[in-house]
Amino acid sequence: MSLLVGIVGAGPAGLLLARLLHRAGIDSVVFESRDREYVERRQRAGILEQATVDTLRAAGAADRLEREGIPHDGIDLVFDGAAHRVDFLGTTGARVWIYAQTEVVKDLIALRVADDLPLLFDTPVLALTDLDGRPTVHHAGGQVVCDYVVGADGFHGVTRGLVPGVVHERTFPYSWLGILADAPPVHHELVYAHSRRGFALASMRSPTVSRLYLQVPNGTEPWPDDEIWTELDHRLGDHHPQRGPITAKSVLPMRASVAETLRHGTLFLAGDAAHIVPPTGAKGLNLAAADVTLLAAAFDHLHRTGSPDLLDAYEHTALREIWRAEHFSHFMTTTLHLAPGQSEFDTQLQLAHLRHIVSSRAAATSLAENYTGTART
């Protein structure tokens, strides 16, 4: 059975789906409203779960990841002024990789261009029609009639509003002030810090570039450099960052959302068009990859057998994984951050939970399973 799938959005979700479909012998057209330079420079997540890396490998899209990605076998939790390691590899047999979303996107674009497959930059989708039949993608240059359309164009994209249904949302009472700095990483693995001054996270983009975050009140403007470094020193315990030039600053609001309905006729939602997770659990890119892995398998099943059973099951199957990831991200967020006006009672509950994680193999394993994504496999 021949198929043509229209994919709206050339982020990691849309590009990975296009790659998986191509490997399965299924045609697709990718529509992207922005130009290639913008898409390849768009800064987002940088932590890949084991399952995401396995999918990229199976798709033939992991060559540079294998050379340049930084494997992490655990994380440090800092609380009560001390660091405690949570061992991922020893408890689950899985690890995570540091490899920026920009690099994943560049790799997938390069593969699609090399294969001379349709990837239409600077092509905003103006409308989608006939979603109950053969959907038509209308854009400024014309129109393309498809068999199915996948909306992977993000929270503010055109496709999300075409799928009726409730969207469950939560906004958190704090934000992240994030920086990129030309400085060696604080530690060889990620550091998540609970402090009475607020949360901090020390991550990295490479052995010479650090990615660091501070919890700040909503509505905060970026701080001066010296204030950022001083506050990181206070919050990260014994993991004192080495200072270097700060090359980028941004403030990221913390929110979560899940669309209750992921399908309308021949239109399916995936990635940020379907859900947003707070970044504390490192789930955004990985959850998008899980969505399109399910969709690719469903389209492959339809292509080979003519049966739409897996496509019909997509919404139910995906939402189970989405809510699992939302729960973990919510747990990490609310356990590590101090809410405005938080009572000492609530702070002690957070600390009790953190002490339990690092003193119980079962609790540490649960965190490791969720962080590496093995809890969803």
List residues with catalytic annotation: 72, 192, 279, 283, 371
CB atoms inside a 10 Å sphere around CB 37? 9
| Sole residue written with tokens 């897996």 | 310
User: CB of 138 within 8 A of CB of 29?
Assistant: no
DSSP 8-state class, residue 236: S
Alpha-carbon span 100 to 284, nearest angstrom: 12
CB atoms inside a 10 Å sphere around CB 78? 24
Could you give the C-alpha distances from 230 to 17, 197, 240, in angstroms and in order? Answer: 43, 12, 10
Chain centroid offset of residue 69 CA? 16
Task: Give the residue from 88, 85, 363 showing the smallest Cα distance to 239.
Answer: 85
* Structure-derived torsion over alpha carbons of residues 250, 207, 76, 288, reported in degrees to the nearest 10: 60
Q: Which residues pair with 30 in a beta bridge?
A: 7, 119
Query: E-assigned strands of 194-245?
Result: 200-206, 209-216
**Angle 373-49-58 from CA coordinates, rounded to 5°:** 110
